[in-house]
Amino acid sequence: MAAHRRIYASLATVLALSLSACSMNHSAKTIHGENGITLPPPPQAAVHVVTDDYDGIKVEDAYQWLEDAKSPQTRAWIDEENAYTQKYLSQVKDLPQIRSELAALQRVDVYSIPMLRGGKYFFRKRLAEENQGSLYMRAGWEGQDRRLIDADKLSADQNTSAGIVDVSDNGNLLVYEVRVGGADEGSIHVLDVKTGKELPDVLPSARYMGVSLSPGDAGLYYARFTHQGTDVWLHKFGTPVADDAKVFGGEYRGEELGELDLVSAWVSDNHHWLIVDIAHGVPATREDYLVRDLRKPDSPFVPLVYGVEAHVRLADAGDRFFVMTDYRAPNSRIAEVFPNSKPADWKTIVPEGKDVIDDFSIVGGKLFVSRLHDVKTETTIYTPDGKQTGTLTYPGIGSGSVVYGRPGQTEGFYTFESFTTPMTIFRYDTKTGRSEVFAKPKVPFDSEQYEVTQVFYTSKDGMRVPMFIAGRKGQARNGQAQLLMTGYGGFDLPMLPAWNPEYAWWMERGGFFALPNLRGGNEYGEAWHKAAMFGNKQNVFDDFFAAAEYLIRNHYTSREHFAIRGRSNGGLLMGAAMTQRPDLFGAIWCGYPLLDMLRYQKFEFGRLWTTEYGSSDNPKDFAYLRKYSPYQNVRKGADYPAIMFFTGDNDTRVDPMNARKMTALMQAASGSDRPILLHYSVKGGHSSGVSLTQLVDDEADEAAFLWNETSGNSAAH
C-alpha cells in the first residue's frame, strides 16, 4: 500500500478558509463560564489546510502546522492560549481556597515500598513540607532514617525527581534514576552508600527498560530504548560508557527486533541469570523470555518462553522460573517454565479460576496470587508447588497489592488503598503471617464519613459493566450534586479503587465520584480487553456513556453538574465523549490525550500502540479509526460543554500535538459560548516527577475549572 500523500491547498483556498475560520471563532461572541466568568473570544489559530490521501480517501487538516512544537508560530500560539487560560482562572474566586484544600491533602509524609538489602531498608520518602521525595536508608527495622539523595537539591525549580533502581545485596551500592519534570527519560547514577560519594559512572538520559547490578557489583546491565529498537548493554564500572558492550539486541533466532519489540533486562535474584524480556507491542501480543547463565562465560541466551501468542509475566525464585499467563487460560494461571521448554511442558502451579489472576509474587518461599473478584482484590498464598496455605487479609474492600520482596527473605511489603483510604504500606512476616504498618500517611480526610458502593449497569450492547460510586454517607440523590467521573478502558489495565487526593477533595466539597470499569482493561481477563481493541474501541465509549446515563437516571447528578476527566488513553475517551455525546456532560478535563487517531502513530511512542488501536496506514483500520477519531469528528456549530485540554512539553510519550490541534479546532468550531481552554505546561509531562508545588497548582487549576463549570450558578447559557 502506498503511503498517504499530503496535498497543500492553494493560497486562495487557504485565504478563504482563514476568513471562514474567523467566523467560526465567534469573533463577536463573548465566552461565558459559570459564576459570572466572562472571556473574550479565544485566540485564533491560523488555518493552513493540508489534505492527506488515505488510498483515495481525502481528509483535510487545518492545523497540521501545530504539530511542530518548536516553530515560532506554534510557541507564540501556545503563549496566547496559556494567557487566555489564565484570564479564566484569574476569575475563579475560590481558586486560592481550592489550592489550599488540595495542598492539605497532598502535603503529608509519603513513602515508597522499601527494598531490603543487607539488613538495610532503602526507600523514597517525601516529607510534608518538601517538593520531592528523597532517597533514604534505614539500618535495621528500628534504625534511624538516613537521607542518601536529597531530591530537593537536584534542581533549582525542584522539578527533578529521583527513584531507586537497584541496590547491591550488601546494601553498599545504590543505583538510582534522575528525571527532569514529567519526562519518561532519565539518567542513571550510582552512589557508594558507605562514603556518600557518587561513582563517576553515569548513564546519560534515555528511556531505560531495566537496569541491574551485574554479579559481584562490577557494573550494570541495562536495556536502552531507541526508536530503532531496544538493546541490552553491559557497563563495567570505571570504563567509559562509550565502551559498553552490547550483549543483546537487533535480532534473535533470525527474527528482526525493532521499535515495536520492547526489550527489558534484569539479573536474577541469585545472580545466576541475565533475564531478557521481549514484549512485542504495547500491550504485548506476544512476550518472550530468554536467559543467559552468568556463571558460564559467553553462554548463549536460551528461551524460557518463546513464540507464544499470549500475555506472560515472569518471576524467578532461585533457579526456578514461574509465569503468570493467559495462554489457554483467559483468566490466567501460574505455571513453572524451564529452559528450552514448550508450552506443553509447562507445569501448572495455580490453575485458572472464575476470577482473573491480576498479579503474583514469590517472597520468603511463598507464592502470593492476587485475583480480582468483581474488581476487588483478593490474595491467596500458596507453596511454590501450588498447595494453598492461607490468604492475605486486607483492611477493607479496595485495592491491595501482592507481597513485594525477595524469594529468600522472610519479610516483604504490601499495600492497601481505596477511594476513601490513603495508601498504607504494611510489613509482612512470611513465617508468622503477621502484618504491621510501615507507613500510613496522616491525611486530613475523615474516611469514616464516606462510603464506596458498587453497582452494575447495562451498556449499549447489553454487556453488564461494574461501576464504583463514592461519596459522603447518606448523601441525597436529587440530581443536584456535582459528580466527577473518570475512566480508561484500554491496554489490559484494570482500574481499581485507589486513593487520589483530587477525588477525595471532590467528595469533601459535597460531590460524588464515579469510576466505571470499562471494557479494554483486565478486570475480567483478556476477553474483557479484546472486547475494546481495534474495531471494538467504540465499546469503551458506549460503556462510558451508559455509565453517565445510569448516574443521571438514578439522580446522582444531572448534565449541568456532571464533570468528567481522563488522561492518555483516558484522554482519548474524553475526546470521544465531547464529540459523540456532548449532551451528557457539563465540563470535561482532557489530559495528555490521544485525539488525532489518523496521525498518532507518527509521533513519539505512537507506533508502539498500533497493536492496541491499529493504524490508519492500513485501509481496514482507517475505516474504524476515521469513524471515532475525535479530531476528525468535531462538528462546526455543535453545542460543546466547557473543556480544558491539558498537556506539556515534557510529554515524550503522547505527543502534545494532539491537544494543540484539538484545542484550535474546538475553539473554532464550537457553537456554544462555554470556555474551551488549553493548559499547557512547559515543565510537566506524561510521567510523575514535577515538584509538589507544581503538581498542586496544576491539580487546583483542573479542579477549579471542573467544579466551577458544573456549579450551575449561571444563567448566561
Output the pTM of the full model: 0.92
231 φ/ψ angles, rounded to the nearest 5 degrees: -120, 155
- Greatest mean pLDDT among 247-261, 460-474, 685-699 lies in 460-474
Residue 22 has pLDDT above 50, yes or no: no
Which residue is catalytic, options 568, 615, 670, 691?
568
In whole numbers, what is the pLDDT of the chain averaged over residues?
93
Q: Which residues are 234's β-sheet partners? A: 221, 245
What's the rounded mean pLDDT across residues 514-528? Answer: 96
User: Cell 465523549 identifies what position?
Assistant: 577
What's the rounded mean pLDDT across residues 368-383? Answer: 97
Q: Is 500 exposed, middle or buried (0-12, 13-18, 19+ CB in 10 A)?
A: middle
How many residues belong to the chain? 717
Q: Which residues are 186's β-sheet partners? A: 206
Reported as a single tens digit per residue, the pLDDT across 157-213 is 898 999 999 999 999 999 999 998 777 889 999 999 999 999 999 999 999 999 999
Residue 83 has pLDDT above 70, yes or no: yes
- Beta strand 483-486 with 562-567 is parallel
Percent above pLDDT 90 for the chain? 88
Residue 29 has pLDDT above 90, yes or no: no
Reported as a single tens digit per residue, the pLDDT across 108-137 is 999 999 999 999 999 999 999 999 999 999
**pLDDT given for residue 18 in this prediction:** 33
CA distances from 134 to 126, 127, 138, 170, 609 (A): 6, 9, 13, 21, 33
Cβ–Cβ under 8 Å, residues 22 and 667:
no
**pLDDT given for residue 248 in this prediction:** 96
- Beta strand 676-681 with 642-648 is parallel
What's the rounded mean pLDDT across residues 545-564? Answer: 98
DSSP state string for 175-210: EEEEEETT-S-EEEEEEETTTTEEPS--EEEEEEEE
Using CA atoms, how far apart are residues 563 and 485, in angstroms rounded to an integer? Answer: 6
**pLDDT given for residue 683 in this prediction:** 67
* Three cell numbers written together for 173: 551500592
What's the rounded mean pLDDT across residues 307-322? Answer: 95
Residue type, 487: G
**pLDDT interval class at 528 (50, 70, 90):** very high
Residue 707 has pLDDT above 60, yes or no: yes
Cα maximum dimension of the chain:
80
Q: Is-catalytic flag, 686? A: yes
* Three cell numbers written together for 330: 483467559
Using CA atoms, how far apart are residues 122 and 124, in angstroms rounded to an integer? Answer: 7
What's the rounded mean pLDDT across residues 621-625? Answer: 98
Q: Tell me which H or E stretch contains 74.
A: helix 72-89
Which residue is catalytic, options 4, 189, 311, 686?
686
Using CA atoms, how far apart are residues 522 and 686, in angstroms rounded to an integer? Answer: 22
Helices (H) and strands (E) in the chain — how many of each? Answer: 11, 44
Residue 716 has pLDDT above 90, yes or no: no
**CA 712 remoteness from chain centre:** 32
Q: Is-catalytic flag, 555? A: no
**pLDDT given for residue 649 in this prediction:** 86
